[in-house]
Every structure is written in structure tokens, then in C-alpha cells.
Structure 1
Amino acid sequence: RTIAIESFFTGHFETALHSDELLTEIQIPITPKRHMGFHEITARSSDFAMAGAIASATLAASGTLDAVRVVTFGLGDRPVRLRDVEIAVANAQGDPTALRSAAQLTKDLVLPRDEIHLSANYRTRLAVAVVQRALEGALAVESGFIR
């Protein structure tokens, strides 16, 4: 069977696979001229992320941002797509100040959990930072998005 990525992760170390199923293939559509940014914060190299984000976007023929995607991870039991941030980034059209404002929306969209070493409040601040850095990576000057 085929499972959309939005439905695949169901909880902490849990997926939608049944006990008699095995993952045999992952299909990722390749989009020409798609630019990606990734940033995570870990306590140690190769450790689980305290907060992380992946951002991607394409530049439409008209020169505007298109197909913006922003996802956080490491903050809860599954990755979270930030649609409000995506809309704000698309509307920002490469303006660095507007992109920073878009990243600030993250704090109202994530619900990190308290852990023994990190408070939810601190993890929320980390989330804003990693989203901003992932956006900067995806929309870097060399890609032509940020003016």
C-alpha cells in the first residue's frame, strides 16, 4: 500500500505500518530548481535533534517564490509542517526582514514538550532559530531568492 508522508509518522518512534508490513520503497518527487535548507541543533554530533527544520522552495518563471515547504522535527513525537510560515515566506518574496517575521510565526505553531534538560519554552526559541536558518539556507542569495 502507499502511505502519504503526512500520515506515516503517528507518534514517537511509531509509524502507520502494521506489524506484518515492511517499508520497501520511498518515492520523493524531484522538482527542478528546488532549493533546500536544513538546520538542526544537537547536544553532541550524531545525537537526536533538540530542534530541527527543513525548508524548500522553487522560483517560478515569474520570479516569485513557489511551492514553499517548512517542516520542524525533534520538538515532539512527529515532524510538523508549518503551513502558516510557508504562506508568509511565499508572500515575503525574498525580503530578509519579512522572512525573519515569517520564522517568528513558528513559536505559535509548535508544541514542544518539556524534557529533563530542556524546557518547552527554550525548545520553542530553538525552533524559531532553526526555521530561520533553514529558510536562509533554502532561499540563499546564490539561489536568487533573497535580495
Structure 2
Amino acid sequence: MVQFSQTSWQEFSLPNVLETLQYAPLNLTIGKNPLLHYTLPKELEAGATIKYQLQYGFKVIRWTGIISSIKDNSITVRLGQGPFRGFTASHKFVSEGHMTACYDELSFQGFTAVPEETFAEIASKANLVYAIFARKAARDVYVAVETRKKTQSFGALDIGATAG
């Protein structure tokens, strides 16, 4: 069994952090240490899927977790699909004035993609990144694309209404 735990503070309000974590980071700078990040679903509810990614060098391990329960911005997760026989996680977000404290604990059991010793070494060097600014950039791109789609739809509707 491999366990990972990290506590971080973000200089954003709790609602802002939760909304921003719904977007995958647009880009991340990969350095010496492996990077772990997750993307929350649009609706935080039991049964929804959280996407996880661990990047180490040019290799990536991806998996999903299913939200088991949510209470007071504390999320409990179990394995959805991935290279493990078991996975559990808890993510807790606490408002602390103008900041948000993020508490993350992940536990992995039964590895199918890499040997447990290798994964344990990778996890011991990993940093969980929130990449708030990279996620905000991704959100801006998403909003721009959706706005353009709506503008094109209205234009097509207007042309169709006046044709004939």
C-alpha cells in the first residue's frame, strides 16, 4: 500500500477554488519531481467522477475516482477505473479568511501498471499541484469556445429565419 498526503493553502476564496478545480490545467511545467493533479466534476455529488493524473518525466498514470460522499466540502472517493486494484482518497477544503486550506489524502493498493516499489518512490517525490492560474487559463479558453459556438448558432438561426 502506498499513501500520499499533502496540505496546501490557496490565496483564493473557497467557492473560487472549487469552481477552478473543475478545469484541467491548460499547461504544467514538468521538472524533476512528479506532478499529481485532479479535476473535479461540474456537479459535486455522490457518484460523480474525479479525474486524476500523475506525470513523471514523459510518463503519465491516469485514473478516475467515484465520489462516495460529500459533507461540508469534504469529499470521499473510491476507485473508478485505473491501474490499481484499490484506491481511496479524501479531499477537504476549508475557508480560512481570504484563503482556502486544501487537505488531500490518497491511498493506493495493488498496482498493475508499475511495481509497488517503483510507484512508492514516485509518490514519495510527487507534489500535488492545484495550478490555479493554469486552470483559469483553461477555463478562459473553454468559455471563449462556448461563446463562439453560441454566436455561430445564433448567426445560423438568423440566416435561416431570413432565407426565403
Q: Does TM, scored on the shorter chain, surpass 0.5?
A: no
| Structure having the larger proportion of residues in strand | 2
TM-score bracket relative to the smaller structure? 0.3 to 0.5
Answer with 1 or 2: which has the greater Rg: 2
Structure of higher RCO (CA pairs closer than 8 Å, 6+ residues apart): 2
Q: TM-score normalized by structure 2?
A: 0.34
Q: Which has the higher helix share?
A: 1
